[in-house]
Amino acid sequence: MKEHNETSRTETPRTRRRFLQAAAAAGIVGVAGCNTPGGDGTDTETEADSGGDGTGGSAPEQIGSGRSPFGDRELSGVSMSEMPDLEGELTLYSGRGQALVGELVGFIEDRYPDLTIRPLYNTAAELVSQIQTEGQNSPVDVFYSVNAGALGALAQRDRTQELPQEVLEFVPQNFRAPDGHWIGTSGRARSIPYNTDTFSESDIPDSIIAFPETSAFDGELGWAPTYSSFQAFITAMRILEGDEATREWLAGMQELGVSQYGDEFQVARAVADGEISAGLTNHYYIQRVLARRGLGAPLRTTFTQNDAGAVFNVAGACVLDTAEDSTLAANFVRHLLSAEAQDYFARTTFEYPLVPEVEPIGRLPTIDELNPPEDIDLSQLADLEGTIDLLRETGVL
Amino acid sequence: MATEHRTTADDDAGEADEQTRLPLGVSVAAAAVAAAVLLPVLWLIKTSLDVGFAEATALLTRPTTLEVLLNSAVLVVLTTTACVVIGVPLAYLTVRTDLPFRRFWTVVVSLPLVIPSYVGAFAFVSAFGPQGGFQRLLAPIGIERIPEIYGLEGTVLILTLYTYPYVYITARASLKSMDTTLIDAARTLEHDRWETFRRVTVPQIRPAVAAGALLSGLYVLADFGTPSIMRYDVFTRVIFVEFGTFGRDTATLLSLQLVAVTVFILWLESRVRGEERTTAGGRSRAVVSLGGWRYPAMGFAAAIAGLALVVPLVILLSWLGTASATVNQSLAFQWSYAANSVVIATAAAAVAVVAGLPVAYLSARYDGLLPTAFERISYVGYAVPGVVLGLALVFFGSQYATPIYQTLYLLVFAYVIRFLPQSVGSLRASFLSVDPALPEAARTLGQTSAGAFRYVTLPLVAPGLFGGAALVFLTTMKELPATLLLRPSGFTTLVTHIWTAYESGYFGQAAVPALVLLFVSGLSMLVILRQEGYDVK
């Protein structure tokens, strides 16, 4: 999609922007019948796109061959060609949108003449309910989720099986379940986008808790409280700091006059436009604006250190206990960790590849350089109920 | 009044006897249909039992529970009232008057039913929300604020605009099959038009209007998308918070509570129905001349339909401008999606009418516990949120009907259970308007009972039959939650395609199928209305 006059301040047609806000406010999953109403967050994946300005995956200049997004970047990691062949029938329940991963699934299926993949796309929360309801008669082999919470929910209910060691070894320990029952396939970090005309990196506190006391931020910050990743971040804060401290933090942020946006892509654009000077977003929105406007745009990423503001969440997969062919299922998950797939995630969504050899795209530190909070079990972040209540009480939502 | 019978009138003991012996075949069929509808509720109960007693009690007696129940009640009452106030006059105008371009309006005012209410809500929020398009139009002339669209008022507005067609379509069917000689009689008795409407027409169409209002009310009760977008806290929100945090069992427990509320509303509606009369079906077409009121009347129809249709259309068209040329393969629109939608909606409409016939017939013709119970039960599936119904059928499909699980058979079955009351409501109202003396006359002339039904009753109830089919068709076209849970892998309809584009933020790609959905549904409405013996060309 063409970004309309991306450089002017009154760029996109406001109606669409408002729609985006509304859409985010409802959580697009509202459409699917599984959001938590009241503008509460959901496990939807608008992050798969460019907020209505997407190019349907990678920007054209990044697609080497033009035939597929698996073109000509120097691939690192283990290529699919070095992996065991896939053959048989595989039922995949995907909580990641078809618009985002459909291409990858199709690519894997087309690679192997004897492989049939039957994908079913829905929201992660509904697929968890569906798998639970199907019980031991479930046809599903692999569940692919947009967040660790849904994977954790299935693991808690003893519906997953341990992945083979040689698959688990693809990613560092903190991106997979301790018992090996699910594995992350790509990641997203909470980050602070800032406008380089106003701030330098040293002006941004290392601690998210210090934000409300930072006078330079008065009237200069933006956030998107209806977005599920924002809510996961608040959930992390509740876990790390407690409800009371979180409540105070939210109140402090409101006293700063923080601006509310409908989604985090808008926050990142507003920062680049100078409408605000810093914000709270997932890391890839910043890359997306930069990809569109070029590195000359006055927008850069920084991260807080070892606190809720730097939570790193993953999308990932697990093999179900009902999988007919565990080997096939595990090898399919292995393909999601291949050089081609990892590169695909990096390029289409600007997510963090989780396989250490694959570099993220854009101006991002490598995963090792990030400092996310310790002692957070990612599957806890799905528990949004208390968070939503808190956001409502404080008038943020 | 002219030729009316109370259905169970004891004006003739012999007839009353006749009336109380239920026909076996029809009763068995109706019982089977009712049993099918109760399946999901069995699952609800079974799953709710997995929630511990202490937790269940705590959950059901939370202070917020009462608050959201009250909110839901207020919303249902206001919306239903507004639907009647809008739907009945529109039905009257398109059936009885010389409204200009009557046929055009007939189709157009029923179309808002096709727009999923959450799409309508998004559109309205983006047009009229703070900093929305409308606000920006007014900003130059110094209007800084427009009335808040969020909250109760906005929710009522949206839900009214997208559910009044329930009242409109049922009222319309009943007006069409009503005997207008009564009206002529009343007019000769020096009643003015308003008096005639109040004393003759209103009692005649009351059952149909009540049926339509019930459909609107229960839709509102079970809808969660709109209240959530409009930021109004209702009962369904609590259910979906539970779903979102993987609390399937608690969510179903709360849905049971919703079923209890539904039962209460069903009981309430039985009281409101009032005295139901059956009358001889009339054939005359008295057309009321609107005279100077023609254009204001047309303005009314245009305003309602315009508000409901144009706002989303404008928003959709503005998205079209954002459609991406280089979108990935999976989002390319294909006409087969439209074909898929039409095929399953047609199947669902046909099956729902067939399944609704015995239930509606019994309850219109016979008094007593069973006929009433069957008819009331048919509403239960409709009042359960779609995702809960979908999960219930996921359970039965995967456990007991593996061969049809994730096939179109089960999907159509789900639609039928979900939308059955839409056909039952219309059919029942039509049966009530057929004088039982007519098929009896056919019997005395040597027809079998089936023949009498086929050649006498069925033609008379055709408007209701097609009205019911139209309702089921239109609502199946836009059904999403159950579709997502039960569709076969790779089966894409217009709505699932809209959802796929939407949830990943490709609004431009959502616009095309949404426009096609409107267009195809409009065409289908034309076909359906032609069938009902109405000459729409």
- Rounded distance between C-alpha atoms, residue A98 and residue A28, angstroms: 14
CATH number of B504's domain: 1.10.3720.10
- Rounded distance between C-alpha atoms, residue A273 and residue B315, angstroms: 25
Mutate to test the interface with B, among A46, A122, A282, A393 (most CBs of B within 10 A): A122
Q: Which residues of A touch B406 (CB under 8 A)?
A: 120, 139
In-domain check, residue B76: yes
Record: contact A19-B319, CB cut-off 8 A: yes
* Domain end position, chosen among B323, B355, B388: B323
Cβ contact B504:A146 at 8 Å: no
Other Cβ atoms within 10 Å of A331 Cβ, number: 20
* Mean pLDDT across chain A: 81
Shortest alpha-carbon distance between residue A278 and chain B (Å): 22
pLDDT per position as a tens digit, B327-382: 555 677 888 999 999 999 999 999 999 999 999 999 988 888 899 899 999 998 88
- Rounded distance between C-alpha atoms, residue B494 and residue B491, angstroms: 10
Lowest-confidence pick of A106-115, A280-289, B17-26, B415-424: B17-26
Q: State the pLDDT at residue B269.
A: 81
Record: contact B480-A56, CB cut-off 8 A: no
Q: State the pLDDT at residue A25.
A: 38
Assess whether B332 and B279 both reside in one domain: no
Structure tokens at A381: 């972040």
Record: contact A14-B131, CB cut-off 8 A: yes
Query: Which of A22, A44, A49 is facing B229, going by the closest CB pair?
Result: A22
Shortest alpha-carbon distance between residue B103 and chain A (Å): 33
Interface subset of B 49-88, CB within 8 angstroms of A: none
Residue B318's identity, in one-letter code, is S
DSSP three-state, residue A177: coil
In-domain check, residue B21: no
Closest residue on chain A to B498 (Cα):
A31
Q: Confirm or reject contact between B410 and chain A (CB < 8 A).
A: no
Interface subset of B 431-450, CB within 8 angstroms of A: none
In-domain check, residue B222: yes
Task: Kindly write down the DSSP assignment for every residue of A178-235, as one continuous string.
Answer: TTSS-EEEEEEEEEEEEETTT--GGGS-S-GGGGGG-GGGTTTEEE-TTSHHHHHHHH
Assess whether B289 and B342 both reside in one domain: no
Total number of domains in chain B: 2
Q: Confirm or reject contact between B403 and chain A (CB < 8 A).
A: no
Q: State the pLDDT at residue B18.
A: 45
In-domain check, residue B36: no
Assess whether B263 and B346 both reside in one domain: no
pLDDT per position as a tens digit, A143-188: 999 888 899 889 989 999 999 999 999 998 889 999 999 999 999 9
List all residues 6 or more positions away from B117 whose beta carbon is below 8 Å from its beta carbon: B158, B159, B162, B163, B223, B225, B226
Q: Which residues of A touch B254 (CB under 8 A)?
A: none
DSSP three-state, residue A1: coil
- Rounded distance between C-alpha atoms, residue B121 and residue B516, angstroms: 19
Interface subset of B 114-143, CB within 8 angstroms of A: 116, 118, 121-123, 125-127, 129, 131-133, 136
Assess whether B286 and B370 both reside in one domain: no
Assess whether B335 and B215 both reside in one domain: no
Q: Which residues of A touch B322 (CB under 8 A)?
A: 1, 13, 16, 52-53
Q: Which residues of B touch A91 (CB under 8 A)?
A: 489
Q: Which residues of B touch A50 (CB under 8 A)?
A: 505
End-to-end Cα spacing for chain B: 36
Cβ contact B371:B432 at 8 Å: no
Query: Which of A33, A120, A383 is facing B481, going by the closest CB pair?
Result: A33
Residue environment code for B316-328, b if the CB has 16+ CB neighbours within 10 A, otherwise e: bebbbebbbeebb
Other Cβ atoms within 10 Å of B54 Cβ, number: 8
Record: contact B229-A26, CB cut-off 8 A: yes
Does the pLDDT at position A276 exceed 90? yes
**Nearest alpha carbon to residue B487 among B421, B427, B405, B416:** B405
Assess whether B381 and B451 both reside in one domain: yes
Q: State the pLDDT at residue A342.
A: 93
Q: Which residues of B touch A383 (CB under 8 A)?
A: 245
The domains found in chain A, sorted by start residue, are 10-187+314-365 (3.40.190.10), 188-311+372-393 (3.40.190.10)
Q: Confirm or reject contact between B505 and chain A (CB < 8 A).
A: yes
In-domain check, residue B259: yes
R_g (Cα) of chain A, nearest Å: 20
In-domain check, residue B265: yes
pLDDT, average across residues A225-235? 87
**Nearest alpha carbon to residue B257 among B288, B289, B221, B295:** B221
3-state secondary structure B348-361: HHHHHHHHHHHHHH
Closest residue on chain A to B222 (Cα):
A33
Record: contact B504-A43, CB cut-off 8 A: no
CB pairs under 8 A between A and B: 263
Assess whether B111 and B126 both reside in one domain: yes
* Domain end position, chosen among B304, B323, B342: B323
Q: Which residues of A touch B233 (CB under 8 A)?
A: 37-38
- Rounded distance between C-alpha atoms, residue A254 and residue A260, angstroms: 10
Query: Crossing angle of helices B494-503/B335-365, nearest 10°?
Result: 120
Assess whether B117 and B190 both reside in one domain: yes
Structure tokens at B81: 């009232």
What's the domain range around B134? 61-323
Shortest alpha-carbon distance between residue B219 and chain A (Å): 14
Structure tokens at A209: 């808790």
Mutate to test the interface with B, among A2, A36, A44, A107 (most CBs of B within 10 A): A36
Assess whether B377 and B489 both reside in one domain: yes
Which percentage of chain A shows pLDDT scores above 70?
Answer: 81
In-domain check, residue B86: yes
What is the pTM assigned to this prediction?
0.82
Q: State the pLDDT at residue B137.
A: 61
Q: Which residues of B touch A30 (CB under 8 A)?
A: 118, 224-225, 228-229
Shortest alpha-carbon distance between residue A80 and chain B (Å): 22
- CA B288, distance to chain mean position in Å, is 28
Assess whether B295 and B368 both reside in one domain: no
Query: Which of A14, A28, A118 is facing B502, going by the closest CB pair?
Result: A28
Position of tokens 């081609």? A340
In-domain check, residue B361: yes
Assess whether B293 and B407 both reside in one domain: no
Shortest alpha-carbon distance between residue A95 and chain B (Å): 11
Q: Confirm or reject contact between B334 and chain A (CB < 8 A).
A: no
- Rounded distance between C-alpha atoms, residue B174 and residue B215, angstroms: 15
Q: Which residues of A touch B155 (CB under 8 A)?
A: none
- Rounded distance between C-alpha atoms, residue A208 and residue A211, angstroms: 5
Assess whether B396 and B340 both reside in one domain: yes
Record: contact A103-B330, CB cut-off 8 A: yes
Residues in chain B predicted with pLDDT less than 50, given as ranges, are 1-18, 325-326, 534-537
Closest residue on chain B to A383 (Cα):
B245
* Domain end position, chosen among B323, B340, B360: B323
Record: contact A43-B225, CB cut-off 8 A: no
